[in-house]
């Protein structure tokens, strides 16, 4: 029962925090960014880039090294395709936090399912390890924490 309350509390906190973030539709905020800023840009998909410049019509970014294909190091995105621009999220912090949460929940669940002392420890280690891997993977794919929104349409 405590577990369910804890998970519910975390979900409510995330929903409230996400809705409380400032949202702006002012493209001038994007144009005034300093070159070299790490951004997360959402079009019909989300990608990260290094800001170079922005005009009234487009956003120009450099690649961050997370892209598989080689080619031009410059990306140009039409302003009409940009749904959201925010400072890039914490790449390393999210998987670590996800691993800690998943590992902790897995360890607690694994320890509760055993019948003897050895079973409790084995279950905590095995299920906790699996929970840590699962939590890190989910937090990497779906970031837990985001940075400030600069532009949102």
More confident residue, 95 or 81: 81
Domain count along the chain = 2
Q: Write down the mean pLDDT value for the chain.
A: 78
By percentage, how much of the chain surpasses pLDDT 70?
Answer: 71
Q: Which parts of 20-148 are beta strand (E)?
A: 38-42, 46-54, 58-62, 74-78, 84-87
Domain of 136 in residue numbering reads as: 93-141
Order of strands, sheet of 149-152, starting from the edge strand that comes earlier in the sequence:
74-78, 58-62, 46-54, 38-42, 84-87, 149-152
Tens-digit pLDDT profile for residues 12-29: 444 434 444 444 688 999
User: Quick one: tokens of 113?
Assistant: 């399912």
Nearest-angstrom CA–CA distance, 73 and 87? 19
Find residue 49's DSSP bridge partners.
39
**Stated pTM of the model:** 0.53
Kindly state whether residues 82 and 102 are assigned to the same domain. no
> CATH number for the domain including 51?
2.30.30.100
At which residue do the structure tokens 């949102």 appear?
A: 152
**Ranked by mean pLDDT, which of 11-15, 22-26, 102-106, 141-145 comes out on top?**
102-106
Kindly state whether residues 101 and 76 are assigned to the same domain. no
Kindly state whether residues 136 and 74 are assigned to the same domain. no
Helix (H, G, I), strand (E, B) or coil at 111: helix
């Amino acid at each position: 029962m405590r577990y369910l309350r804890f998970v519910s509390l975390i979900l409510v906190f995330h929903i409230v925090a996400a809705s409380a973030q400032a949202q702006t539709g002012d493209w001038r905020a994007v144009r005034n960014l300093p070159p070299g800023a790490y951004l997360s840009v959402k079009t019909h998909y989300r990608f990260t880039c290094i800001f170079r410049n922005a005009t009234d019509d487009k956003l120009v970014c450099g690649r961050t090294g997370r892209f598989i294909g080689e080619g031009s190091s410059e990306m140009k995105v039409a302003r009409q395709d940009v749904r959201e621009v925010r400072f890039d999220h914490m790449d390393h912090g999210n998987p670590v936090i996800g691993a800690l949460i998943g590992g902790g929940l897995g360890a607690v669940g694994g320890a509760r399912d055993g019948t003897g002392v050895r079973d409790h420890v084995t279950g905590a280690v095995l299920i906790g390890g699996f929970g840590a891997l699962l939590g890190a993977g989910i937090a990497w794919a779906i970031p837990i924490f985001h940075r400030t929104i600069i532009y949102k349409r």
